Amino acid sequence: MKNRRGLSRRELTRHLGIAAGIATLSPGFAIAKAIEATPAQVEGPFYPVIEQADKDLDLTRIKGHSQTAAGEIILVRGRVFDTRAQPLKNVLVDVWQANHHGRYNHPEDKNPAPLDPHFQGWGLIRTDADGFYNLKTIKPAPYPLSAVSESGWRPRHIHFKVSQPGFEALTTQMYFRGDPLIAQEAELQRLSEARRELLISDATPDAASGLPLFRFDIVLTTA
């Protein structure tokens, strides 16, 4: 059954949370609470600066290339909401990430790991009429912080920059459940456990393709 905002009872329940107020979903899905904005994360030094013709939702293939990107292919899907649990259409979802070897296609990345000439690495996606976005990509590798003149390692993650007129622009990151490096990630450890959970996603098999599917919903605040 749908309510007047177009959300099913199950969707609304998982966004508003139950009892303790923690947002939940069926096993394997991390969800942002609709009454609380998605936590911001630093943009990092590797936002794309090299223009590319192909910035579609499939990062595993580059237009004109016969080969696909190296690594484990995954799907990332989610919805963008406001803090009233209203889905937002036509939101720009800007995503970028490291490749299967842990390197960005960026001139400032000092990581000696190889570039992947068949990995798109950057995509620009718009949400549909119900606030959904879809992304096909590879699971990024962790990489040494020596790539940015520091010690230690960064966990696997995907960067998101989300913008819509009338709302505060949000830059954040999605992390992968089970990554042991999450415990060392300073940006995450500054958050409460409940807010940290909003940025960590589990995998479930996608019914259509069988690929690992990671759910990452995003909540924006009004400007």
Question: Would you please indicate which residues are annotated as catalytic (active-site) residues?
Answer: 104, 143, 154, 157, 159
Q: CA 42, 46, 50, 53: dihedral to nearest 10 degrees?
A: -60
Say how far residue 183 (Cα) sits from the centre of its chain. 19
In the chain, the amino acid numbered 209 is: S
Using CA atoms, how far apart are residues 196 and 190, in angstroms rounded to an integer? 9
Using CA atoms, how far apart are residues 164 and 37, in angstroms rounded to an integer? 14
Q: Which residue, among 5, 49, 39, has the nearest Cα to 200 in the 3D structure?
A: 39
Looking up tokens 């940290």 gives 196
87 strand-pairing partners: 81
Q: CA 176, 181, 185, 189: dihedral to nearest 10 degrees?
A: 80
Residues composing the chain: 223
In the chain, the amino acid numbered 45 is: P
Say how far residue 83 (Cα) sits from the centre of its chain. 19
In the chain, the amino acid numbered 180 is: P
